[in-house]
Amino acid sequence: MADSRPLIAVTMGDPAGIGPEILVKALDEGSAFERLRPLTIGDAAVLEDAVRGCGSGLRVRRVAGPDQVTGEPGCLEVIDLANAAAVRPGGLDPRAGRAAVEYVQVACELARGGSVDGIVTCPLNKEAVHAAGFPFPGHTEMLADLLGVPRASVFTAFILDRLRIFFLTRHHSLREAIDRISTDLVVAGLRRVDELSRQIGISAPRIALAALNPHAGENGLLGGEEREVLAPAVTEARRQGIDVSGPVPADAVFFQCREGRYDAVLSLYHDQGHIAAKTVDFFGTVSVTLGLPLIRASVDHGTAFDIAGRWVADARGQIAALRVAAELAPSVRAHART
């Protein structure tokens, strides 16, 4: 009988960080194997060190490709690039940055060939990636480029149970993010949120637009962006058939979404949505990249060099990322084929 569990490529992340550890701990926890067949892409020797360090019962098994993956519980099946033996945990290393990029490159090659149903990424370090000579601002841009998708069409979202947060702007200073916000950009963002919400299985999305200023500007008393930029964007999006409310004060909108009033929130800038989700559940918040031909999910924390190699990292975020990838992979893949 064919195995219905999606095949998910899992990149090991920066080998000097906590990626290998949280991956081992997440697979050792066991629930991932009920939902998916994980194919790790990394360095088998580094993963074997992590298995020993964590006191894990996982068996590391080297495989040549997706066709050899069994998804057997308790078995970490890895395409071994053997590129990180000289890397030591706990510090920034260009060799580790290069290795982390190579894992993503292999995952994307498998994705382009239709061999995997989704990608889960362990953390990489932007400084290490840049020191290795790669210009990518982050994982999102790297995945877009490697999969041949325009960066502008890719959206980052946070998923935490019923709380789904999309981001209009990503890695910009607050001043630059505010300067970028325009009516046209917001309308395009709302249209994209509507499309992408349908791709993850929400048939009639109810969207909220977060306000920029306190109390949504108090009719211009606390800032004019709501009246001059955001409200016209909402009016135009509604004219285009999008079910959107707002601008809704940011101190209420994320709670209201979590309570079920909305299906998704469009956050205007990075920390506006990050703080809301991470305060509710730091490790349960999963970052997903939508607009690619398959789902990509990740923890939303970094490489934590300060604790790497001490075997004290918390793997709850990695467990959640694997779960979300398995849940969304069929719907995203189905929409990508249409």
Whether the pLDDT of residue 264 is over 80: the answer is yes
Count of CB atoms situated within 10 Å of the CB of 314:
17
pLDDT range class, residue 29, cuts 50, 70, 90: very high
Question: What is the chain's mean pLDDT, rounded?
Answer: 93
Contacts of 114 (CB under 8 A, 6+ apart): none
Say yes or no to pLDDT of 223 above 90. no
pLDDT band for position 156 (50/70/90)? confident
May I ask the CATH architecture of the domain 155-281?
3-Layer(aba) Sandwich (3.40)
Partners of 318 in the β-ladder = none
Mean pLDDT of 266-277: 93
Q: What pLDDT sits at residue 1?
A: 59
CA 226 to CA 238: how far, in whole Å? 16
Percent of the chain that is helix, strand, coil (3-state, to 5): 45, 15, 40
161-194 confidence digits (pLDDT tens): 899 999 998 778 889 888 899 999 999 999 999 9
| Per-residue model confidence as pLDDT tens digits over 39-71 | 999 999 999 999 999 999 999 999 999 999 999
Q: Of 44, 52, 39, nearest to 84 (Cα)?
A: 44
CATH 3.40.718.10 boundaries in the chain: 1-151+291-338, 155-281
CA atoms within 13 A on the CB side of 58: 32
For the record, the structure tokens of 260 come out as 């079920």
pTM: 0.90
Query: For the domain bounded by 1-151+291-338, which CATH number is listed?
Result: 3.40.718.10
Number of H helices, E strands in the chain: 13, 12
3-class SS of residue 199? helix
Instruction: Kindly provide the b/e burial profile for residues 239-258, where b requires at least 16 CB atoms within 10 angstroms of the residue's own CB.
Output: eeebebbbbbbbeebbebbb
